[in-house]
Amino acid sequence: MASKSHWTDCTLGDVITLKRGYDLPNRDRIDGEYPVVSSSGITGTHSVAKARGPGVVTGRYGTLGQVFYVPGDFWPLNTSLYVEDFKGNHPRFISFLLQTLNFGKRSGAAAVPGVNRNDLHMLRIKKPNLPTQYKIAAVLSTYDDLIENNLRRIKILEEMAQNLYREWFVKFRFPGHQHARFVDSLLGRIPEGWRWAKLKDVCDSISYGFTASANKEVVGPKFLRITDIVPNTIEW
C-alpha cells in the first residue's frame, strides 16, 4: 500500500483534460473497426476514429456517471466527454478514478441533465503516484474482467433458457414430441391435453405492490420509493 506521501491533493484538471465528443449522425456512419461511444457505451462502429486509444469516456448528457474504458482508437459522440490528455497518468487508473466521482450531483436542473467539463476540472481529488496507479489498475482490472466474464455467462444462460422455452412451448419440439398427438385449437395445432387460455383465466389479477408508510427510524434496510429517485441520484 502506498504511503500518504505518494498521494497528491489536486484538481481533476491537473490530472486529465476532458473534451466534448463529436457529432456523427446515423446516416453518416460507415461500419468499420472503430467503436462509436456515447454516454451509454458503445453504440456501433465507424470507419474513422476521432480519438486515439486507450481512451476513457463518460456521459455528458443523459447517462451521467457511467465510465467506459476503450482499449483502442474510437469515435466519442457529442453526448459524451472523453479524456483528451491523460497528462502522463495511467488511462486504466483514470477510468476507475472517474467512477468514484458523482457527476450526477453536478448536473444542471434542465429537463435533460448535463455536466460542464470546466466544473469537473475543478473537482478536488487525491492522485497517487504512477507506480501506485499501475498497481491499483492491475488489481481492479482483474475484478472487472471477472465481472465481465460472469455477465457474459449469465447472458448465454438467459439466451439458452429463452431458446428452450421457444422450442418446447412455442414450436412444441419438446422431448418426445415426435410421438405426441396434436389437436386443433383457436391458436392452431397444440399437443393433446393442452388448452389455450387468456392470462386472466389462469391467474389472479395482477396488481401493483404495496407502498409502506415513511418511517424515519433507522430499522433494517432502507425502503426505496419512486419519489426517492431524482435525476441520476437517490435521495432517501
Which tens digits make up the pLDDT trace of 76-98?
999 899 999 999 999 999 999 99
Position 220 scores a pLDDT of 60
Q: How far apart are CA 145 and CA 123, in angstroms?
A: 29
Q: What is the domain partition of the chain in residue ranges? A: 4-128
DSSP sequence for 108-153: -SSSS-B--HHHHHT-EEEEE-HHHHHHHHHHHHHHHHHHHHHHHH
The model scores a pTM over 0.85 = no
Q: For domain 4-128, give the CATH superfamily.
A: DNA methylase specificity domains (3.90.220.20)
Q: Which of the two residues, 110 and 53, has the higher pLDDT score?
A: 53
Among the ranges given (60-64, 118-122, 184-188, 215-219), the one the predictor scored with the smallest mean pLDDT: 215-219
Q: Is 96 strand, coil or helix?
A: helix
- Reading the block at residue 37, the C-alpha cell is 461511444
Task: Write out pLDDT tens, residues 12-25.
Answer: 999 999 999 999 99
